[in-house]
């Protein structure tokens, strides 16, 4: 078994190798195949683990994922006529969310019903220092139909350390740190869950994305220096920009379903007897310190 690093902010002072017992718990699944990303780490030597956005996506089975795009400052149009326009240097913070179903062909309705990865990466697919994070969902980690979110983040020092699971979002020491600073409650999040899509690439705003980023097939711009707009990961040759990118309307139900399933798991874990749908015993007498 290959080593897996761990760093849970607020709990671990420094990153460290996980113990064999910790790794076994990470790989354990009550009624399924186990966590896909943790399994990948456990069988892949550290030197062979993909550390760029592009390499990670290229390693997934063909047709198993769909990218979605998010940007800030969408209403700002890139001014090609006046390149000195100060708005041309306002960061758009373009990034991508990948929903991957590594065990099958991508099917919207199967996300979070089977093993699912939510990968967040920057607009620099080849950057070895750019932000790259993975939320990995094991749909049966706590029992049949009771899943668990686990978080991993690429690090230039440690490769792909484990950053904790959804329950760590409720631990006072770790709740303000790492992925839980944004993923409150240990679940997926989305800037908006409906129109108007002011941040997300959607069916009706493709032209706005292109106008805001300003890139052409030949070159990028200061706000899209790596020309992600026409990168083959997101745009098919000869097609309109982001032809391979999904619309926010399709991501919305995935996010909602992931939150619902995580809530069901938490409820069963906290209020039901293990392996049953029976509620925990009622405490009829008062508890005194």
Domain boundaries, the chain: 5-271
Structure tokens at 142: 């706590």
- Please count the other Cβ atoms lying within 10 Å of the Cβ belonging to residue 133: 18
Supply the pLDDT for residue 282.
67
Q: Kindly tell me if the per-residue pLDDT of 54 is higher than 70.
A: yes
Pick from 103, 141, 101, 134: which is nearest to 119 by CA? 134
Instruction: Tell me the pLDDT band of 192, cut-offs 50, 70 and 90.
Output: confident
* Whole-number Å distance between alpha carbons of 86 and 52: 31
Q: pTM for the full model?
A: 0.92
84 burial (CB, 10 Å; 0-12 / 13-18 / 19+) is exposed
Instruction: Tell me the pLDDT band of 194, cut-offs 50, 70 and 90.
Output: confident
Supply the pLDDT for residue 286.
58
What is the SS3 assignment for 70?
strand
197 burial (CB, 10 Å; 0-12 / 13-18 / 19+) is buried
Q: Kindly tell me if the per-residue pLDDT of 137 is higher than 60.
A: yes
95-115 per-position pLDDT tens digit: 999 999 999 989 988 999 999
Supply the pLDDT for residue 86.
95
Q: Kindly tell me if the per-residue pLDDT of 222 is higher than 90.
A: yes
The mean per-residue pLDDT over the stretch 162-191 comes to 92
Q: Kindly tell me if the per-residue pLDDT of 270 is higher than 90.
A: no
Supply the pLDDT for residue 31.
72
* Whole-number Å distance between alpha carbons of 165 and 179: 10
- CB distance 30 to 143 below 8 Å: yes
Pick from 208, 245, 207, 241: which is nearest to 227 by CA? 241
Supply the pLDDT for residue 285.
59
Residue holding tokens 């760029």?
52
Structure tokens at 90: 């306002």
- CB distance 65 to 53 below 8 Å: no
Supply the pLDDT for residue 91.
93
Instruction: Tell me the pLDDT band of 178, cut-offs 50, 70 and 90.
Output: very high
27-47 per-position pLDDT tens digit: 887 777 899 999 999 999 999
What is the SS3 assignment for 37?
helix
- CB distance 148 to 112 below 8 Å: no
Supply the pLDDT for residue 28.
81
What is the SS3 assignment for 42?
helix
Q: How many helices (H) and strands (E) does the chain have?
A: 5, 8
What is the SS3 assignment for 184?
helix
Task: Return the HEC string of 87-112.
Answer: HHHCCCCCEEEEEECCCCCCCHHHEC
């Amino acid at each position: 078994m290959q080593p897996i690093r761990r760093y849970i902010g607020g709990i671990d002072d420094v990153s460290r190798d996980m113990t064999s017992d910790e790794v076994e718990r990470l790989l354990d699944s009550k009624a399924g195949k186990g966590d896909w990303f943790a399994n990948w780490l456990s069988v892949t030597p550290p030197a062979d683990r993909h550390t760029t956005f592009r390499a990670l996506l290229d390693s997934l089975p063909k047709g198993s994922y769909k990218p979605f795009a998010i940007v800030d400052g969408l209403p700002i149009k890139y001014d090609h006529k006046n390149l000195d326009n100060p708005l041309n240097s306002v960061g758009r913070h373009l990034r991508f969310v990948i929903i991957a179903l590594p065990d099958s062909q991508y099917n919207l309705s199967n996300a979070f019903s089977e093993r699912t990865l939510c990968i967040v990466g920057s607009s620099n697919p080849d950057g070895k220092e750019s932000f790259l994070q993975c939320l990995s969902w094991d749909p049966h980690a706590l029992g049949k139909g009771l899943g668990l979110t686990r978080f991993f983040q690429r690090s230039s020092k440690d490769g792909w350390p484990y950053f904790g699971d959804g329950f760590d979002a409720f631990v006072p020491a770790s709740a303000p740190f790492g992925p839980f600073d944004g993923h409150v409650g240990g679940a997926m999040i989305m800037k908006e869950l409906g129109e108007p899509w002011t941040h997300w690439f959607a069916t009706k705003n493709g032209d706005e994305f292109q106008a805001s980023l300003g890139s052409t097939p030949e070159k990028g711009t200061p706000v899209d220096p790596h020309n992600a707009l026409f990168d083959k990961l997101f745009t098919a040759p000869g097609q309109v920009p982001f032809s391979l990118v999904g619309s926010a309307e399709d991501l919305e139900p995935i996010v909602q379903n992931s939150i619902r399933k995580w809530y069901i798991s938490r409820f069963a874990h906290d209020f039901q007897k293990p392996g049953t749908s029976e509620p925990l015993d009622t405490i009829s007498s008062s508890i005194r310190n």
